[in-house]
Amino acid sequence: GTQVTVEIHHEDTSPQLFKRHSLGKGSQRLRGHDNKGFQRAEAPRPPGAKDLHAYPWDKSSLKSMPVDLQQFEKLDAYALKVNVKNSVEELVKALLKQARTDLEKVRAIWMWICHHIEYDVVGYHNKSQLSSKPRDVLQMGKSICEGYAELFEHMCSLAGIQCKKLSGHAKGHGYKTGQTFTGDSDHAWNAVYLEGRWHLLDSTWGSGSVDDSFTKFTYRYNEFYFLTHPALFINNHFPDNSNWQLLKPTLTLKEFENNMLHNSNFYTLGLLATHPETPIIQTVNGKASVSVHCRPGTLFMFKLKGTDEHGLMTLKKHGMKLDIYPQKTGSHKLEIFAKPSKAEASDDVYKCVVEYVVECGSVDKDMRFPKDLHQPVGPSWFSERQGFLRPSHREPVLHTNDGRCSLTFTLGKDISVLTSLHGDGSSLAEDMGRRHVLQIHRGNQIELKVHLPHAGSFVLKIYSKKKSDPGNYDYVFNYLIRCLNTEVKWPAFPQSYSKWLQDYEILEPLSGLLPANRNVQFKLKMHGIAKVLVQAEDTHALTQNRGCWEGTCNTSGCREVFVLVHENANHSFYSHVLKYEVETQ
């Protein structure tokens, strides 16, 4: 379905024809050399079968040829220091002093342009005053994409390297998700011929970025746009001439418009794919789902209309899964951010890697989440790394009908755990939130028993620290716990004091609120103690039986019941370990 025009020339004339084209004005100069003694580049040949790369991307390399950036370190440093502004020829001569191969020559030119030419935001708004001639661009030290591409092409041709300026549509500044492209092309970039193949690069985007209001340019070097793999370059560059996609098969403009925009951060952070692959998502019954596939060890966050309240994100070993429940109908911008978990300080920020538009037709009011819910939700490789191994519940949400649930983990060495339960609104004060979760330790196993004070949605937050560290507890992860049963009304667990050791266990009574005027049975698992007393109106001693201390106590006439222990038979000193409340009459 493609129209092809074929011209046939006598074999002697065809190189000349192209030659004149590549030299432009003044083709009467010495053949093959210009008067300044540069070896002129051969006429660019159009791309052919051996230039093409398979589409979609095979997830192998970000570049279209093997490049060892460490080997460029010296050359890069040299190129940055070259300071020649009087003529393009002098500049190229200075840059080539340290470059031997064609790849090194292209690299030196690329590095110099990316760090010395800034984007002309004023000129962009007033194009009539603007010259894209290489000499003017060099003198001014700034230009728009057209000038970057022309300077690059001219410097390469002086260095004897085939290079072509390409133009087309780009998903660059001002691009809106899902928009169509009409009319003239709006961006320019280059193709260079190295080691027998054509390669793509964009020195405008390699040099930095412009702010949202398009009034300020910031130098921020971006390696991604140097010899980018064509299957990735097509993500945001669509050339007027489809042969210059260097792809097999080529994409249509419609496909380009509908494809997801993955920016350079997406690939630089080692992300591989997103699902869905279309940028506009419709909710189904008030819900939309997104997932990202990546190499292990990546952390994520998201914002829907600037907040992360209306979603449930879970971290997976190879990426993340996100369910979104917008609480208003209409169009919402969804941004997904990522960062490596073992980042250098300089990279320790979340960068936006992909954007969707979520179109919501109906709202699922039942999927409102508590304010205290922290993303991601549920256990993951990250909580494992913090020492919470073999979780009994791998899902982020726990549903309970009777208002009780129990979770177990195997704990790594030397870990002390802190937990708290958070409800919506002010239904749970912080100190009470801690008392609705009971920790039980058996060897390296920990069980967390949760008793909900009423129906609704709750967040169980889990913190930890090294036992040997004096410092604070660090937040690790959380679960969402849901209960629809309105009959549910569990009292808190008894309050424990510092002498209540981690491996003690309450068998009964588990409720921190005891009935009035009753005989209550006590059964506590404790070791290394001389004596245990339960103090109500009267004091009752518990007796030891197979590792447990047992006995009864009557609750009449008192508001509180304490459990005290006598650690050493020779001392008369007792320590409080537990406190129970008694129901009022």
Indicate if the pLDDT at residue 419 is higher than 90.
yes
- What's the pLDDT at 32? 46
CB atoms within 10 A of CB 133: 14
Statement to judge: residues 102 and 146 lie in one domain: yes
The structural domain count of the chain equals 4
CA–CA distances in Å: residue 463 to residues 48, 383, 397, 405, 416:
60, 10, 18, 19, 9
**Of the residues 476, 493, 510, which one is the last residue of a structural domain?**
493
Of 114, 145, 360, 483, the active-site residue reads 145
Of 202, 332, 436, 451, the active-site residue reads 202
- What's the pLDDT at 11? 62
- What's the pLDDT at 7? 72
**Of the residues 470, 493, 516, which one is the last residue of a structural domain?**
493
Query: Is 405 one of the catalytic residues?
Result: no
The predicted-structure confidence for 424-438, as pLDDT tens digits, reads as follows 766 677 778 899 999
Statement to judge: residues 483 and 541 lie in one domain: no
Give the model's confidence band at 376: pLDDT under 50 very low, under 70 low, under 90 confident, else very high: very high
Q: Which of 482, 476, 481, 483 has its CA nearest to residue 379? A: 476
Question: Is 506 a member of any domain?
Answer: yes
Domain range for 411:
381-493
Statement to judge: residues 325 and 468 lie in one domain: no
The rounded mean pLDDT for the chain is 90
- What's the pLDDT at 37? 60
Give the model's confidence band at 573: pLDDT under 50 very low, under 70 low, under 90 confident, else very high: confident
Query: Is 294 one of the catalytic residues?
Result: no
Place of tokens 């002498």: 499
Of 169, 187, 332, 436, the active-site residue reads 187
Average pLDDT of 469-486? 94
The predicted-structure confidence for 263-283, as pLDDT tens digits, reads as follows 899 999 999 999 999 999 999
The predicted-structure confidence for 92-142, as pLDDT tens digits, reads as follows 999 999 999 999 999 999 999 999 999 999 999 888 888 999 999 999 999
* CA terminus-to-terminus distance, the chain: 90
Question: Is 396 a member of any domain?
Answer: yes
Statement to judge: residues 119 and 245 lie in one domain: yes
Query: Is 262 one of the catalytic residues?
Result: no
Average pLDDT of 363-379? 94
Indicate if the pLDDT at residue 14 is higher than 80.
no
- What's the pLDDT at 159? 97
CATH code of the domain covering residue 345: 2.60.40.10
Statement to judge: residues 139 and 189 lie in one domain: yes
Contact 310, 326 (CB under 8 A): yes
Indicate if the pLDDT at residue 29 is higher than 50.
no
Statement to judge: residues 483 and 507 lie in one domain: no
Indicate if the pLDDT at residue 308 is higher than 80.
yes
Give percent above pLDDT 70 in the chain: 92
Secondary structure of residue 142 in the 3-state scheme: strand
Indicate if the pLDDT at residue 35 is higher than 90.
no
